[in-house]
Amino acid sequence: MRFYDDLLKDKIVLLNFMYVKCEGICMPVTMNLKRVQNLFGERMGRDIFIYSFTLKPQEDTVASLRRYAQLHRVKRGWTFLTGSVSDMELLRRKLGFVDPNPEVDRVKSNHTGLIRFGNEPLERWGACPAMSKATWIVKSVNWLS
């Protein structure tokens, strides 16, 4: 997949970074995004999409991400993605999912716990803590429309 052409172009998106064997915030964030997905209802997969990118592409294969998605019963419109280590790191940095302290940032279990959301056609973007109330996240995304 190409990041812009296949995932962002002409869409409203929510983006986050996670990994399958996370013992920290990943599971609660996934559960919160399930609530967000349910609140968007029929709009999911039609004009709103969630993309979860792995922080550990060397561990998280396509198969393990598929199992993770099935385990959490995610619905249409939410895709879990991996790629090369260098591509995932470049994407993470370009999207601002970094800690300003390089020592903290180097440890993947310290990841930021943010969601970036945007309306690409209108060039409107925002971010919030991934554990914000699901209703607030939906409201914020709707403001971009």
Q: Are 113 and 131 in contact (CB under 8 A)?
A: yes
Overall average pLDDT of the 21-44 stretch: 95
Per the structure, the complete domain to which residue 32 belongs is given by: 3-143
Instruction: Give tens-digit pLDDT for 66-112.
Output: 999 999 999 999 999 999 999 999 999 999 998 888 888 888 777 77
Name the band, by pLDDT with cuts 50, 70 and 90, for residue 61: very high
Domain count of the fold of the chain: 1
Write the single-letter amino acid at 71: L
pTM of the model: 0.95
Overall average pLDDT of the 33-51 stretch: 97
Residue (of 95, 127, 68, 73) closest to 7 by Cα position: 95
CATH number, position 71: 3.40.30.10
> Cα torsion at 102, 106, 112, 115 (round to 10°)?
110
Separation in Å, CA 130 to CA 9, 14, 102: 23, 10, 22
Separation CA 50–CA 18 (nearest Å): 13
